[in-house]
Structure 1
Amino acid sequence: METRSKITVILAVVLILITGCVYGQDRAISTSQLPKTAKNFLAANFKGVTTSSVIEDSEIFGVDEYKVRLTNGMKVDFDSKGNWKEVDGEHQKVPYGFIPATIRNYVAKSFPNTHIIKIERKSWSYKAELSNGIDLEFDRNGNFKRIDD
């Protein structure tokens, strides 16, 4: 009985190690290997800015997301299909072309001396961080919900 439990423990440890190696694989790729949607997003919103690194984050069942760092210091995360998930200006104003007009208009009207330095898109909402440190939440249509503490 003791030998059987030792074998079970050893097999469990081996399984955990194998799963850990397969589960979270990050690898550097070239910009040309990004999905077309992501390449188009970068070309439209960061014209003339090149990438300094592109990381493909894979999970067990395929690519989970792409993490792109640009030479101007900004970061863009894309989902597995190349749709933007987050744009982080790293304290710089992010391009506004892809941000829903309702969000742009709300920020311009309610916080006229600020700009968006980070925006995140989730399934049912947006979250925008302003240059004055305030975080705003919007619904999926870009309507203001609340200030996030």
Structure 2
Amino acid sequence: MKKLLLTLMAALMAVTAANASIFDKYTLKRSELPEEAQTMLTEYFPKAKVSMIKVDKHLLKKTDYDVRLSNGIKIEFSNKGKWTSVNCGKKELPEGLVPGAIRRYIAKNFSELKAVSICKRSGGYDIGLSDGNTHRFNLLHQYKGTVAAKD
């Protein structure tokens, strides 16, 4: 009985994993994004065209959105349209995306570098600089150190 149950569970998990991409949808229409996401794109990237929007529908989680702009910028949005991460590659982030205290800290301590990516976490922000290092800040915008590189 246990073997049968384990076999059924394994088969169900395999089918679910194989069909996970069924929940994803690709589009070019900004109108598929929540209004807050559309507003953010218009405010910070007014001239950039959308090259792809991946609507990620998760089985147990809410929908999120991965947006790629024609200039190479990658933005992730939550189901409500709030940005969760922005990666500008080698280009500098728009000034308004980085909180003022963090921006001032970077200007003072890393004056030769520019912020090229930002990721909101539950405990604060991870800011990627043009030298390839990522620095962590808490919710009070206080510097917490360099984030270890992932292998």
Q: TM-score, normalised by structure 2?
A: 0.85
- Matches of 2:124 and 2:5, distance apart in 1: 45
Q: Does 1:82 align with 2:81?
A: yes
Task: Name the one with the larger strand percent.
Answer: 1
- Matches of 2:73 and 2:64, distance apart in 1: 17
Shift of 1:22: 5.6
CA contact (8 A) 1:34 1:82 kept: yes
Rg larger for: 1
For the residue of structure 1 that corresponds to 2:113, the secondary structure is coil
Q: Which consecutive residues of structure 2, in runs of 5 or more, have no partner in the other structure?
A: none
> Structure 1, residues 109-136: CA drift from partner, whole Å, max 9, x if none?
1111110111111111100111122221
Summarize the alignment of residues 63-102 of structure 1 with structure 2, pairs less than 5 Å apart. Answer: 63-102=62-101
Deviates more, 1:54-63 or 1:72-81: 54-63
CA contact (8 A) 1:103 1:142 kept: yes
| Number of the residue aligned with 1:50 | 49
Amino acid in the other structure paired with 1:106: Y
Amino acid in the other structure paired with 1:27: K
- Matches of 2:14 and 2:110, distance apart in 1: 50
- RMSD over aligned CA atoms reads 2.0
| Number of the residue aligned with 1:106 | 105
Q: Does 1:20 align with 2:17?
A: yes
The number of residues matched between the two structures is 146
Q: Which consecutive residues of structure 1, in runs of 5 or more, have no partner in the other structure?
A: none
- Matches of 1:5 and 1:148, distance apart in 2: 44
- Matches of 1:138 and 1:62, distance apart in 2: 27
Change (3 A) 1:6 1:136: closer
Q: Does 1:39 align with 2:38?
A: yes
